């Protein structure tokens, strides 16, 4: 594949696509802002890379000190089309000039309808679909559960170990990890049941069907097949550690749902919109969910989320049962339409597969040289390294933190994740050009080679 076909023209970008450090990182201005922040912003909001961004374009962040950093996180899988993409910026500015809000529940507008048409066309399955638009991933997950309960007349929601679904009350209950997400924030919503997932590194090598059988046995014995409204699954678990289930796990769970009148809900909030090399990660195993939840990559950074499902499921809810003041904000819809068009025209799913071909060999080579790399996994432009104490599978969160910090000081933003905090994840903008990506990954593997022995 000729890589240059994917390269975003730097001519149309405001910032040269280059890493360039002019101060230490974080520099004096970022440090001063960090102090101002401490006196004004609630301590509970953390920032993993405390450089204050002043501008961004393509795959480059420019901080308050004028440093240019390579962004390998895309604001947690959001800016897949790159920062400040001119097509998105123009669509946002034009819509903001026309109107910024009417409330779709009061006086509707075309953008909302057009985004729902796109969601119907792009999500897996040829069946008739309907969508609702919301503001955040967590809000969309909440709505998927509301809809599933209404459509099935059942209440139980099944989620997986290591799941992440958000920070609202219901989605905290659905999220697995105690600290920091749930610590002290209970009581949590009832009727949420957690079952084992497929985690090839840590489940003794169960096959996908074996792992699914284990989950299903738990559902049938502890929840009751007839009680389940929905099984909610991230096709690749994101915050939990970029856990790719063994092949066959997702199809077996989806089959069980079909046979038992439960809805299979795919939380594609982090995996969606070309990230894994298909429009949606469920497509890798030909799984057609009853309901797909989207957010993040759909709108290039404007807050927008969606729930898309079979028409008869979605339309089971009475008129007025779903909504919200801002859901499907017209400016966010304009951004989404421009981002989707960019992804379609630029073949961003292929671009994500190209990124995998470029980066995976580098990560595998690093794993050969660095004993602390216990696993290399992921799909497309959603790739990760799980760090362990050499010779064991015991997680090494400290190393993940120090490596991420070392990358930041060298001008590369990488994120960590994982139930045990020991996974380094890569979520580059799909629009990043090859040379910049290779440079960023080189900084990461260099840090690992120095620190991971
Ligand atoms: N479902 C699969 O990845 C958001 C959260 C970061 P919101 N992931 C990033 C943090 O620490 O808050 C996410 C996700 C999956 C749901 C969500 C929630 O999406 O838009 O953050 O509410």
DSSP string, 127-159: S-EEEEEESSHHHHHHHHHHHHHHHHS--EEEE
> Alpha-carbon distance 334 to 101, whole Å?
12
Choose one of 239, 271, 324 to mutate for the ligand 1 pocket test, by most ligand atoms within 8 angstroms of C-beta.
239
pLDDT band at residue 67 using 50, 70 and 90 as cut-offs: very high
Nearest CA to ligand 1 atom 21: 137
What is the average pLDDT score of the chain?
Answer: 96
Mean pLDDT of 51-73: 98
The whole-number average pLDDT for the span 360-367 is 98
376 forms beta bridges with 385
pLDDT at 3: 41
The CB of 124 under 6 Å from ligand 1? The reply is no
Domain locations along the chain: 3-84+347-451, 101-328
Q: Which residue among 48, 74, 76, 180 is best mutated to probe the pocket of ligand 1, counting the most ligand atoms within 8 A of its Cβ? A: 76
Q: How far is the CA of 140 from the centre of ligand 1 (A)?
A: 10
The residue whose CA has the least distance to atom 3 of ligand 1 is 270
Residue 141 in contact with ligand 1 by CB distance below 6 A: yes
Q: How confident is the model at residue 1 (pLDDT cuts 50, 70, 90)?
A: very low
Give percent of the chain above pLDDT 70. Answer: 97
CA of 324: how far to CAs of 29, 105, 116, 143, in Å? Answer: 39, 8, 16, 11
Is the predicted pLDDT of residue 10 greater than 60, yes or no? no
Distance, CA 156 to ligand 1 centroid (Å)? 22
Whole-number pLDDT of residue 6: 43
CB–CB of 360/368 below 8 Å? no
- The Å distance, Cα 21 to ligand 1 centre, comes to 31
CA of 238 to the centre of ligand 1 (A): 9
- How far, in Å, CA of 8 to CA of 13, rounded? 9
SS3 248: coil
Test site for ligand 1: of 269, 291, 297, 324, most ligand atoms within 8 A of the Cβ: 269
Q: Is 420 in the pocket of ligand 1 (CB under 6 A)?
A: no
Q: Encoding tokens for residue 67?
A: 């440093």
Q: How far is the CA of 351 from the centre of ligand 1 (A)?
A: 24
Atom of ligand 1 nearest to the CA of 268: 2
- DSSP assigned state of 225: G
Question: Measured from the CB, is residue 164 less than 6 Å from ligand 1?
Answer: yes
Per CATH, which fold does 3-84+347-451 belong to? 3.90.1150
Nearest atom in ligand 1 to 237's CA:
2
In short, whether 166's Cβ falls inside 6 Å of ligand 1 is yes
The pLDDT value given to residue 11: 41
Which residues contact residue 16 at a Cβ distance below 8 angstroms, ignoring those fewer than 6 apart?
10, 60, 68
Quick check: CB of 174 below 6 Å from ligand 1? no
The C-alpha atoms of residue 292 and residue 309 are separated, in whole angstroms, by: 6
Ligand 1 close to Cβ of residue 234 (< 6 A): yes
Judge whether 170 and 145 are in contact, CB under 8 Å: yes
**C-alpha distances in angstroms, 214 versus 43, 159, 160?**
40, 13, 12
pLDDT on residue 452:
85
The yes-or-no verdict on residue 72 having pLDDT over 80 is: yes
Ligand 1 pocket member 48 (CB < 6 A): no
Q: Give the mean model confidence (pLDDT) for residues 348-355.
A: 98
Q: How far is the CA of 181 from the centre of ligand 1 (A)?
A: 11
Ligand 1 pocket residue status of 76, Cβ below 6 Å: yes
Tell me the CA distances in angstroms from 110 to 115, 296, 311, one per residue in order: 9, 21, 20
Helix 330-345 and helix 86-98, axial crossing angle in degrees, nearest 10: 150
Residue 23, C-beta contacts closer than 8 angstroms, at least 6 positions apart: 65, 66, 67
SS3 76: helix
Average pLDDT over residues 12-33: 93
The predicted structure's pLDDT at residue 453: 78
For residue 238 and ligand 1, the question of a CB distance below 6 A is answered with yes
In short, whether 237's Cβ falls inside 6 Å of ligand 1 is: no
CA distance 137 to 133: 10
- Measure 12 CA to ligand 1 centroid, in angstroms: 31
pLDDT tens figures, 301-314: 999 999 999 999 99
**pLDDT for 33:** 98
Question: Per the structure block, which two tokens stand in for 437?
Answer: 């990506």
Q: How far apart are CA 59 and CA 54, in angstroms?
A: 14
Distance of CA 137 from the midpoint of ligand 1 (Å): 6
Q: Looking at ligand 1, which atom is closest to the CA of residue 295? A: 20
H runs (alpha helix) in 39-100: 74-77, 86-98
pLDDT value of residue 13: 55
Looking at the CA of residue 181, tell me the nearest atom of ligand 1: 11
Distance CA 63, CA 387 (A): 29
Contact 142 CB / ligand 1 (< 6 Å): no
Tell me if 3-84+347-451 shares its fold with 101-328. Answer: no
**Ligand 1 atom nearest to CA at 271:** 2
pLDDT of residue 7 exceeding 60, the answer is no
Give the pLDDT confidence of 170-217 residue by residue, as tens digits. 999 999 999 999 999 999 999 999 999 999 999 999 999 999 999 999
Residue 306 and residue 296 in contact, taking contact as beta carbons nearer than 8 Å: no
* Cα 10 to ligand 1 centroid, rounded to whole Å: 31
Give tens-digit pLDDT for 222-239: 999 999 999 999 999 999
Task: Map tokens 């901080």 to a residue.
Answer: 63
Angle at CA of residue 203, ends 188 and 447, nearest 5°:
90
Q: Decide which of 3.30.1280.10, 3.40.640.10, 3.30.70.1350, 2.60.40.10 is the CATH code for 101-328.
A: 3.40.640.10
């Amino acid at each position: 594949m000729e890589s240059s076909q994917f390269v975003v023209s730097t001519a149309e970008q405001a910032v040269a696509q280059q890493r360039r450090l002019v101060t230490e990182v974080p520099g004096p201005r970022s440090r001063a802002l960090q102090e101002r922040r401490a006196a004004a912003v609630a301590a509970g909001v953390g920032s993993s890379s405390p450089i204050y961004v002043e501008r961004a374009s393509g795959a480059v962040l420019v901080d308050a000190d004028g440093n240019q950093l390579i962004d390998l996180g895309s604001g947690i899988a959001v800016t897949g089309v790159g920062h400040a993409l001119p097509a998105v910026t123009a669509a946002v500015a034009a819509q903001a000039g026309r109107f910024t809000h009417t409330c779709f529940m009061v006086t509707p507008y075309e953008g909302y309808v057009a985004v729902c048409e796109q969601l119907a066309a792009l999500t897996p399955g040829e069946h008739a679909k309907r969508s609702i638009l919301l503001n955040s991933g967590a809000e969309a997950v909440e709505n998927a559960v509301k809809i599933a309960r209404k459509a099935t007349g059942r209440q139980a929601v099944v989620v997986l170990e290591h799941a992440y679904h958000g920070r609202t009350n219901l989605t905290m209950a659905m999220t697995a990890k105690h600290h920091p997400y749930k610590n002290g924030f209970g009581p949590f919503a009832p009727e949420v049941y957690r079952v084992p997932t497929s985690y090839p590194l840590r489940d003794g090598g169960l096959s996908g069907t074996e792992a699914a059988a284990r989950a299903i046995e738990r559902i049938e014995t502890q929840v009751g097949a007839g009680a389940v409204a929905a099984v909610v699954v991230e096709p690749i678990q994101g915050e939990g550690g970029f856990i790719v289930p063994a092949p066959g796990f997702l199809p077996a769970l989806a089959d069980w749902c079909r046979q038992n009148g439960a809805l299979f809900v795919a939380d594609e909030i982090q995996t969606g919109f070309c990230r894994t090399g298909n429009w949606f990660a469920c497509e890798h195993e030909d799984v057609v969910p009853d309901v797909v939840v989207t957010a993040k990559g759909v709108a290039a950074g404007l807050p927008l989320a969606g729930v898309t499902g079979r028409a008869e499921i979605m339309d089971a809810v009475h008129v007025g049962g779903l909504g919200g003041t801002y859901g499907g904000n017209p400016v966010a819809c304009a951004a989404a339409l421009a981002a989707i068009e960019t992804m379609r025209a630029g073949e961003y799913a292929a671009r994500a597969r190209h990124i995998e071909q470029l980066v995976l060999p580098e990560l595998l080579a690093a794993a050969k040289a660095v004993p602390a790399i216990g696993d290399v996994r992921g799909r497309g432009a959603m790739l990760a390294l799980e760090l362990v104490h050499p010779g064991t599978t015991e997680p090494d969160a400290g190393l993940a933190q120090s490596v991420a910090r070392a990358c930041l000081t060298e001008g590369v933003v990488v994120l960590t994740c994982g139930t045990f905090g020991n996974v380094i994840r890569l979520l580059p903008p799909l629009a990043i050009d090859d040379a910049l990506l290779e440079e960023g990954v080189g900084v990461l593997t260099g840090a690992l080679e120095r620190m991971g022995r």
